[in-house]
Amino acid sequence: MLPCINWLQPLLALISSTLLTRGHNCPSSCLCPDHHTVDCTGRGLTRVPDSIPLDVRRLLLSNNWIPWIPADFLVLYSDLVYLDLRNNSLYQLDPGTLTTSSRLVFLDLGSNNLTEIPSGTFGESRSLIKLRLGNNPYLNMVGRDAFTGLTSLRELELERNGLTELDVDILESLPSLRMLRLEGNPWFCNCHFAKLFVWLMENRHKLPRGMEGIECSLPLDGRRVPLSLLTEDSFRECRGTLTITDYLIVIFSGISVSVVAIMASFFLASTVHCFQRLSKGSKGDEEEGID
Ligand SMILES: *[C@@H]1O[C@H](CO)[C@@H](O)[C@H](O)[C@H]1NC(C)=O
Ligand SMILES: *[C@@H]1O[C@H](CO)[C@@H](O)[C@H](O)[C@H]1NC(C)=O
């Protein structure tokens, strides 16, 4: 009995100390106002601090100089519900970094230096409700499947980025979307944009300030036009534009037309030739008959 207790005591001490440090350990330069919050706002950090308690739920890292998120970050801090990385130096989201976050509800990546949101970036983040990606001035590419799987996403901020176009399918893949910000991007008013324009007209109520602040530049002289001045009729020339499928149909029907034409001309040529020979033959007969 006694040896058993002797053996158990250190084990219990170890377990309780790990449990305690899990809750109480606070990175040296940060504040931990409660057991689930770590606040490292504006601490001049150049990387995500070590020794963040593993059960952290709210992690505030805004106003630092953090250039990247470690790939296993959300695997490690799997209880994270609220992650604020606003106003850092993030330039890239490594594939997989954000796909494992099943609890994350709020993610702020605004005011960073992201250039691209690749397809599948937020793979499994089914709890995500608010995603802030605005004020990334070089952000000019959003992958076609960048937001697929975000079935709970209600608020998406993409304002003041470098977007010139956005596939409507990206927005249509968000069944819970209630609020969208797109203002302050250098949109091109081309036929690709026409589809987004139609979507925006139909979903105007999702834009906090309607079409206000959204402008696109004209293909010819680059002049910026507020969307509020445009109508679906402004893009009427685009109705005649062909999609790739249309082009393929045209090309293939073109090929078959030319094949038919070539065959027809062969047939015609040989018929003509045949008639010529026939008529020559009969002429010869006639000539023979005259002689
Ligand atoms: C962004 O972070 C830097 C560095 O901490 C700070 O000086 C600056 O005021 C912050 N900008 C905003 C808009 O909060
Ligand atoms: C942001 O990215 C651009 C181009 O990708 C680069 O030229 C610029 O230096 C970056 N700025 C910061 C603050 O990292």
Instruction: Identify the burial level of 68 via C-beta atoms within 10 angstroms of its C-beta, where 0-12 means exposed, 13-18 middle and 19 or more buried.
Output: middle
Atom of ligand 2 nearest to the CA of 67: 14
Torsions phi, psi for 155 (to 5 deg): -125, 125
Give me ligand 1 centre to Cα 97, in Å.
Answer: 25
Could you give the C-alpha distances from 189 to 4, 201, 204, in angstroms and in order?
78, 15, 18
Residues 57, 34 contacting (CB under 8 angstroms): no
What are the beta bridge partners of residue 38? 59
Determine the residue of 29, 62, 63 to mutate for testing ligand 1's pocket, defined as the one with the most ligand atoms within 8 A of the Cβ atom. Answer: 63
For residue 25, the model assigns a pLDDT of 81
State the Cα angle at 198 between 197 and 200, rounded to 5°: 65
Q: Which residues contact 49 (CB under 8 A, 6 or more apart)?
A: 27, 28, 29, 30, 40
pLDDT tens-place string over residues 172-211: 999 999 999 999 999 999 988 999 999 999 999 999 999 9
Q: What is the DSSP string of 136-193?
A: -TT--EE-TTTTTT-TT--EEE-TTS--S---HHHHHT-TT--EEE-TT--EE-SHHH
Residue matched to tokens 């249309």:
246
How far apart are the C-alpha atoms of 66 and 85, rounded to whole Å? 8
pLDDT given for residue 38 in this prediction: 97
* CB 135 less than 6 A from any atom of ligand 1: no
pLDDT in tens, the chain (291 residues): 444 445 545 444 444 444 444 446 899 989 999 999 999 999 999 999 988 999 999 999 999 999 999 988 988 999 999 999 999 999 999 888 888 778 999 999 999 999 999 998 888 789 999 999 999 999 999 999 999 889 999 999 999 999 999 999 999 999 999 999 999 999 999 988 999 999 999 999 999 999 999 999 988 888 999 999 998 888 888 875 544 444 455 556 556 656 666 676 766 776 666 556 666 555 444 444 444
Does the reported pTM lie above 0.85?
no
Give the Å distance between the CA of 134 and the centre of ligand 2. Answer: 16
| Helix ranges, the chain (H) | 2-24, 73-76, 168-172, 191-202, 244-290
- In tens, the pLDDT along 24-67 reads 689 998 999 999 999 999 999 999 998 899 999 999 999 999 99
DSSP string, 218-235: -TTT--EEEGGG--GGGG
pLDDT of residue 262: 66
Dmax (CA) for the chain in angstroms is: 143
pLDDT computed for residue 248 by the predictor: 53
153 vs 130: CA distance, rounded Å:
6
Task: Determine whether the shortest distance from the Cβ of 42 to ligand 1 is under 6 A.
Answer: yes
Reading the block at residue 78, the tokens are 């799997």
